[in-house]
Amino acid sequence: MQLQVGQCGLCAHFGEHQPTDPQIIQIRLKKEAPENLVEECGHPNNAPLHLMVTPISGCKGFEPAKQA
């Protein structure tokens, strides 16, 4: 799946607890991700809920990841 700005796959909070995960780094570089991937959102509002999101999900808490 091709990712757009605003989607979880390009958000700094996507898989935030494992920032060196090569798969997440690749997603940010290529702006592409498998649609069936699920990662935890690290946004302070969502982390206590352990919200799980796919790369094509999104929310208003989006913050661009540094590599994006």
Provide the minimum distance between the beta carbon of 35 and ligand SF4 in the complex, in angstroms, as a whole number: 14
Provide the minimum distance between the beta carbon of 40 and ligand SF4 in the complex, in angstroms, as a whole number: 9
Which residues in the 18-37 window bind ligand SF4 by CB under 6 A? none
Q: Coil, strand or helix: which one is 58? A: strand
| Residue 67 in the binding site for ligand SF4 (CB under 6 A) | no
Residue of 1, 19, 56, 57 interacting with ligand SF4 (CB under 6 A): 57
Closest C-alpha to 68, from 8, 21, 18:
8
